[in-house]
Structure 1
Amino acid sequence: MRFRADIQNNHVFTKLTASLASLGPIAWVKLSDEDVRLTVIPDQGSSVWAVLMIDQIFETYSIQSAAENNTINLEVPLQNLHRALKSAQNASHASIRLTKKNNIPLLSLTITTSIFAGAPKAPARNDPSDEHGYNPGFPSRDGFADQFPGDELDDPAVYDRPQRETTITQDIPIKVLSPAVVSGLREPRAKEPDVHIDLPPLMQLKSISDRFTKLAIASTKTPNGSTGFRGNTTRAPKLELSANMHGCLRLRLKTDAMDISSRWTGLNNPELDPSTVEGGEEGIAQHPSTRMRARGDPEGLSDEGWATVRLDGKDWGKVLGIGRVGGRVISCFCDENALILYVYLTNEADNAEQSVITYYVSSYSQ
């Protein structure tokens, strides 16, 4: 099997791997002719399934295997991949390929950078009063040239410094997985959402969510300074996230010590596409979100018509880290059951299919 690609959007790729690495140490990576898929399923917390369009991350993409669609399945350590990509942030060129050394499969990242080969020697300051070119009333250029940077602005040698290319290769040990190993991996199945709504900017939501989580932790500290959770995740700080079909979103923290909330209004509730709903137009008329819209009110003042999920504060903060990548986020609320986030990455190519990252976040019982 063979795989090689030039990376054309390392900035997005680096931020994406950073966000995924916060959820779990290992990603299942599926490479094929059609797309690139990254899946993270940690022992605890939210899972993520990312489908990346090849042209959004790579160029001159080449893959070959004996499997259908030239599929290659890999197990990749996310922290190692992220560190390698981060080192290529200022590279003039970066490529990645599948290789093997000492019978160990590797993802090999090759980075090319252009650096200055050396600074030109500064010309001596000539002064008619000194035969050695040194003016006793002026600091020596050997020791104090940085005090007078303006003296060199007109020197063309400063802008003409020779450059050379440096190539660095970073090898990431991986595992190549057989089709049988990954055949059982399936995205979680969830019921039809009761509410679907565009989220506000994720970094704004993350800032408030993290603040609520810190308040919850602080309110549970015992006199000796411990949190009192004793490693029991069921007692970790929970945040209540609710939304309705009238553009309202509410984030709430309720503990024995406090009850605070933040509220957004005027958000968009996307229209359902009849082609994606069983029964078409009739199916939309009977859809849970349609019934939820009828139960609520446009002002969102009624307790009716809201779908609610309860989230682990720390895990939720990690999920919202994907906001650094940008893009539109549609959230689907399955009342008291789960929250599903669809993060659509912006593709600059005209009429190009968008990459989508799907998060599955379970709701805790009250």
Structure 2
Amino acid sequence: MKSGLNPGNMKFRAKMVDIGCVNQFSRVVNTISKLTKTCVLRLTPHHLFFILSGKVANGGVSMWCELAQAKFFDEYQLVGLSAEANEVCLEVTPENLSRALKTAQTARAVKVKLTKKHCPCLTIIAELPTMSSISRIVTHNIPVDIIPRRLWHELKEPGLPDFDVCIYLPPLKTMKNVVDRMNNLSNFLVMEANMNGVMNLKIETDLVSVTTHFRDLGNPPWAAADSQGEGQSQRDPEAMARVRVEIKKLQQFLMGQQVNPSKAMCSIVHQKVVHLILLQEDVSLQYFIPAVA
């Protein structure tokens, strides 16, 4: 997806002053860096998106993270590709962005700009406090690739799957501890859940069988209503939908506890895909893990 396009008339500059916003943005980027080595940063007038459009059908994970820019930035200016396409889409390495933001965690202000150095860059400028009246400025130039318009069709929000079960997740830290221990026993894990609020995590190998049970997790209101909806009234709330996934992909997602979500949900399409969602006031993160045979 790489392109060496010149930024040309495209412009992006933004500024964060509130240290809470800087730290929350840093946590989001750090979470993204645990999920993927490269992704697309899509900038629009009102939102920022981190996108990984892996083909789930081919065994790849996909991700869609959405942030409302007004909740993070005190200043935000964007001039996109054209009047009809007022967006900028960049391929970025989240780990580089995360490293740059770590130096800004005590900053008085953080500026983010699209610049042209030897190549297109996202430039992070952190104004750090000092004992004197003179500020200390730390600048990071992070190389990016500008994605041409003809590839934007790949960057649409993934549609919600026609799930068999949708359930709230147990506390992410607890779930992460369980999955980390299971990782010592197998490369694969079975997730299963039903609409009665039960979720099981299982390891099944020739040598060992281990299951962790979670109960009374509950269902999102819209999911509970949908399960009673037309054409789905035959669904047994006790029936388990299950999917076998690579443990490492689930572990990567569980790093998302850094976002401190207010809600964490899981939808399962039986033997096909797990759709995981973290919701926080200013951020939503969706992550799709495909089933393995």
TM over 0.5: yes
Which structure has the bigger radius of gyration? Answer: 1
Q: SS at 2:74's partner residue? A: strand
Q: CA deviation at 1:163?
A: 5.2
Q: CA deviation at 1:88?
A: 0.9
Q: CA deviation at 1:168?
A: 1.1
> Residues 86 and 287 (structure 1 numbering): CA distance in 2 closer, same or farther, change over 3 Å?
farther
| Alpha-carbon distance between aligned partners in 1 of 2:264 and 2:234, rounded to the nearest angstrom | 23
Choose which of 291, 299, 303 in structure 1 pairs with 2:234: 291
Q: SS at 1:319's partner residue? A: helix
Q: Quick check: 1:23–1:46 contact (8 Å CA) kept in 2?
A: no
TM-score, normalisation: structure 1: 0.70
| Alpha-carbon distance between aligned partners in 2 of 1:39 and 1:331, rounded to the nearest angstrom | 19
- Equivalent AA in structure 1 for residue 73 of structure 2: F
Aligned match of 1:335: 270
2:98 is the counterpart of 1:82? yes
Q: Quick check: 1:272–1:284 contact (8 Å CA) kept in 2?
A: no
TM-score, normalisation: structure 2: 0.86
What is the correspondence of 1:27-176 to structure 2 with a 5 Å cutoff?
A: 27-41=39-53, 45-65=60-80, 66-68=82-84, 70-102=86-118, 104-116=119-131, 162=132, 164-176=134-146
Aligned match of 1:357: 285
Aligned match of 1:322: 256
- Equivalent AA in structure 2 for residue 68 of structure 1: E
Q: Quick check: 1:210–1:314 contact (8 Å CA) kept in 2?
A: no
| Alpha-carbon distance between aligned partners in 2 of 1:319 and 1:58, rounded to the nearest angstrom | 26
- Equivalent AA in structure 1 for residue 279 of structure 2: Y
Q: SS at 1:62's partner residue? A: strand
Q: Quick check: 2:190–2:201 contact (8 Å CA) kept in 1?
A: yes
2:168 is the counterpart of 1:198? yes
User: Which has the bigger relative contact order, CA under 8 A and spacing at least 6?
Assistant: 2
Aligned match of 2:7: none
- Equivalent AA in structure 2 for residue 329 of structure 1: A
> Residues 252 and 270 (structure 1 numbering): CA distance in 2 closer, same or farther, change over 3 Å?
same
Q: String of CA shifts for 1:70-92, please: whole Å, max 9, x gaps.
A: 21111112121111111111212
> Residues 184 and 312 (structure 1 numbering): CA distance in 2 closer, same or farther, change over 3 Å?
same
Q: CA deviation at 1:59?
A: 2.1
2:4 is the counterpart of 1:5? no
Aligned match of 2:177: 207
Q: SS at 2:234's partner residue? A: helix
Q: SS at 1:215's partner residue? A: coil
2:276 is the counterpart of 1:306? no
| Alpha-carbon distance between aligned partners in 1 of 2:237 and 2:112, rounded to the nearest angstrom | 53
> Residues 60 and 188 (structure 1 numbering): CA distance in 2 closer, same or farther, change over 3 Å?
closer
| Alpha-carbon distance between aligned partners in 1 of 2:66 and 2:189, rounded to the nearest angstrom | 28
Identity %: 25
| Alpha-carbon distance between aligned partners in 2 of 1:169 and 1:287, rounded to the nearest angstrom | 57
- Which runs of 5 or more structure 2 residues have no equivalent in the other structure? 1-9
Q: SS at 1:107's partner residue? A: strand
